[in-house]
DNA sequence: TTTTTTGGTTTATAAAATAAACTACTTTAT
DNA sequence: ATAAAGTAGTTTATTTTATAAACCAAAAAA
């Protein structure tokens, strides 16, 4: 067993992993919803969503809900693939 | 399902997780052996072993092999428990 | 109409990971 | 015997990351 393959640093972060995990289970999610589900602060979430977006793991769409700004996130194929590989690699660490 | 419990930051680090994972499968391990198995640099490994030691997750014993210094590591009960809890929590992120 | 709330972003600070430099020998080659 | 190279690490400095604090614009409430 060739152990300890590198863990994608973009996913090996508690908050970003939670976001991706969450997005895997829904069609799309709004900023405020993700914030509540993860318990993150808005600032931290904003930064981490940007990173996932820049990496192409999620897409972020900005619109308006009535008159208020609305940020909607959706996982991409690239994000799903990265997550799946991350889980495969991670299991080498946690299943002896 | 109440998701996303905090992940012990001491274990949520690629290198420290690899070290603990490795130590779980052996009685004890020498510095050089851990270094080779994890692919870490000596400096990084030294720092991360100190952190695990300070947290009481491992014990570090310094002796000599012939005339050369020898650093031997062993996981503690506390380390095993922390790892098991970490895995339980982590699974909430990776098993949708 | 001022005050508060909503939905964020930007910037600053703290913490972590990593690499580079260094120490203290030991072994090998000259 | 001595210089050069290797071993087994530690310490310090640098980069990266995570997080928090401060801020902004608009909307809703008082």
Please give the CATH architecture assigned to the domain spanning B2-90.
Answer: Orthogonal Bundle (1.10)
- A58 pLDDT above the threshold of 60: yes
pTM of the complete model beyond 0.85: yes
Mean of per-residue pLDDT scores for chain B: 95
Query: What pLDDT shows up at residue B95?
Result: 85
Q: Check CB contact under 8 Å for B87 and A94.
A: yes
Residues in chain B with CB shorter than 8 Å from the CB of A96 are 21, 24-25
Q: Of B29, B22, B73, B33, which is closest to residue B51 (Cα–Cα)?
A: B73
For residues B21-34, average pLDDT: 97
Per-residue confidence band for A55, with pLDDT thresholds at 50, 70 and 90: very high
Query: What pLDDT shows up at residue B1?
Result: 61
For residues B67-87, average pLDDT: 96
| Residue A43 Cβ under 7 A from any strand D atom | yes
- B20 pLDDT above the threshold of 60: yes
d(CA B10, nearest CA chain A) in Å:
12
The structural domains of chain B, with segments of one domain joined by +, span 2-90
Query: What pLDDT shows up at residue A2?
Result: 67
Per-residue confidence band for B3, with pLDDT thresholds at 50, 70 and 90: confident
Query: What pLDDT shows up at residue A3?
Result: 79
| Residue B43 Cβ under 7 A from any strand D atom | yes
CA of A52 to C1' of D18 (A): 14
| CA nearest to A40 within chain B | B4
Q: Which residue is nearest to nucleotide C25 (CA to C1')?
A: B68
- B89 pLDDT above the threshold of 90: yes
d(CA A50, nearest CA chain B) in Å:
20
CA of A67 to C1' of C16 (A): 41
- A30 pLDDT above the threshold of 90: yes
Query: Nearest nt (C1') to B43 (CA)?
Result: D10
Residue A57 · residue A10 · CB < 8 Å: yes
- A9 pLDDT above the threshold of 80: yes
């Amino acid at each position: 067993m060739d152990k300890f393959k590198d863990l994608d640093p973009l996913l090996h972060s508690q908050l970003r992993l939670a976001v991706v995990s969450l997005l895997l289970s829904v069609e799309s999610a709004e900023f405020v919803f993700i914030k509540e589900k993860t318990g993150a602060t808005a600032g931290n979430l904003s930064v981490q969503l940007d990173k996932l977006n820049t990496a192409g793991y999620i897409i972020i769409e900005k619109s308006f809900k009535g008159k208020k700004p609305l940020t909607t996130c959706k996982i991409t194929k690239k994000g799903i693939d990265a997550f799946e590989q991350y889980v495969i690699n991670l299991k080498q660490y946690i299943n002896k």
